[in-house]
Structure 1
Amino acid sequence: MSGHSSESSGPTRQRLIDVAIELFKQNSVAGTSLQMISDELGLTKSAIYHHFRTRDELLTAVMEPLITEVAALVAAAEVHRGARARADHMLVGYASLAASQREVLSLLSGDPGVVALLRTRTEWAAVVERQMALFADVEPGLGGQVKAALVMSGIASAAGVDFGDVDEAALRDELIAAGRRTLGLRAPQGRTGV
């Protein structure tokens, strides 16, 4: 039996990811070393290496679930008829994701380390480009691209703001409303709330 399966043999992979997220928030990705993570957990660096050889491997583990969720949202939005329906579906999904994954999405939204990693992962960059296109298609040309960039970065940034005791549903609804105003979308007929 391997000693690696025991909880007492060291931190779980998820605990490493959670601590990394906290340190990435405080110091940025580039400003966080594996040594800092091991110090925070009270472990040796070799214990960290058991799970992640590099900071980029750890960052990939942080980002992968989020990118997978965004890819599913993009695919679901792309089947709708009409640019506005596609954009609205993407907006509702993205705002919901942002409200439920506030810390991770806000952390990843503009960190240069994340941007650099996205550029090396072509399949991830393609997902982000498809998401951007869904928003940009509501208005041809530069205007649509600017609005798309505002919605994507604005939602991610706003999700990271500490609004006190605001619950997830209230934040989601406000993110959707702001996104719709930015993109010039109306709430679909027959929907209440969002």
Structure 2
Amino acid sequence: MVAAPSRTATHTVTGQEGTRDRILGAALRLFAEHSFAGTSLQMIADETGLTKAAVYHHFHTREDLLTALGEPALTEMRAAIEAATAQRTPSARAERMLTEFVDLALRHRKLTSMLATDQAMIHLFRTQGHYDELVGRPLTLLAGSAPDPAGRISAAVALAGIAITAGRELTDDLEDDTARRHLVETGRRILGLRAPRTPR
């Protein structure tokens, strides 16, 4: 019979997870305020009230922090790409990619905004092999009904514009449903998509 973990052990694990979450939250705030390149582990330690050694215990580098911050969004983006790819027509694939990305951008407002504008983050994701996979494929899907240069440019404007706008103060006072509706409608106009017919 396997003994249950002691209360002390459980408390320790919970405490470690709580400290890790505090570090990630502080890192996200500081990356947004000072940029990825402009934020040090010491700044993150100061923000959390921890020692630099305590931060280093959980994350050895800023790159480790960014990887941990980005993993949930990357996983969701892969699922969104799969869902869009499964649609039957180019327009349906573009519509599904658009709506999935708007939802993702609103769930990860600060991160998606930074990934669209912070050159150090973009470079890191390129070197990790994520950027082309997770930006190139959505662009192809969004431009699917018009895969010429104009369509690809429209797709890039829609993708970057949604990511940046979702993370700006402009949407802070909006309910998520309202922000979602406006972002999707704007994306459709940029991409030349018609809103799907609603069943009567």
TM-score (norm 2): 0.89
- The one of 7, 15, 24 equivalent to 2:31 is 24
Structure (1 or 2) with the larger CA radius of gyration: 2
1:27-65 per-position Cα deviation (integer Å, ceiling 9, x unaligned): 000000011000111111110011100000001111111
Match of 2:124 among 92, 117, 125: 117
Contact kept, 8 Å, 2:116 with 2:163, in 1: the verdict is yes
Q: Is the 8 A contact 1:92 1:176 kept in 2?
A: yes
Q: Are residues 1:14 and 2:14 paired?
A: no
Find 2:136's aligned residue among 129, 142, 149: 129
Q: CA offsets per residue over residues 153-185 of structure 1, 9 Å max, x none?
A: 000011012135211000000000000000000
- Indicate the residue corresponding to 1:184 in structure 2: 192
Quickly say closer, same or farther: Cα 1:191–1:30, change in 2 above 3 A.
Answer: farther
Q: Distance in 2 between matches of 1:77 and 1:178?
A: 19
1:107, 1:74 → 2: CA distance?
A: 20
What residue number does 2:99 align with? Answer: 92
Go from structure 1 to structure 2 and tell me whether the alpha carbon gap of 1:123 and 1:153 turns closer, same or farther (over 3 Å shift): closer
Query: Is 1:155 paired with 2:166?
Result: no
Give the counterpart letter for 2:179 in structure 1: L
Amino acid at match of 1:29: F
User: Following TM superposition, where does structure 1 have runs of at least 4 consecutive aligned residues deviating by more than 6 angstroms?
Assistant: none
Structure 2's unaligned 5+ residue stretches are 1-8
Question: In the alignment, which of 26, 39, 42 is matched to residue 46 of structure 2?
Answer: 39
In structure 2, relative to structure 1, the CA distance for the partners of 1:115 and 1:80 (3 Å cut) is: same
Cα distance in structure 2, aligned partners of 1:2 and 1:46: 23
Alignment gaps of 5+ in structure 1: none
Most deviating of 64-73 and 103-112: 103-112
Identical amino acids, percent of aligned pairs: 41
On the 8 A contact 2:140/2:147 being kept in 1, the answer is: no
Change in Cα spacing, 1:84 to 1:10, as seen in structure 2 (3 Å) is closer
1:167 maps to: 175
* CA distance 1:191–1:142, shift in 2 (3 Å): farther
Give the conservation status (yes or no) of the 8 Å contact 2:26–2:47.
Answer: yes
**Change in 2 beyond 3 A, CA 1:41/1:191:** farther
Is the partner of 1:26 in helix, strand or coil?
helix
Report the aligned-residue RMSD: 2.0
Find the aligned partners of 1:36 and 1:185 in 2 and give their Cα distance: 45
Instruction: State the Cα distance separating 1:67 from its structure 2 match.
Output: 1.0
Displacement after TM superposition at 1:99 (Å)? 2.1
- 2:105 is aligned with 1:76: no
The one-letter code matched in structure 1 to 2:192 is G
2:3: which partner in 1? none
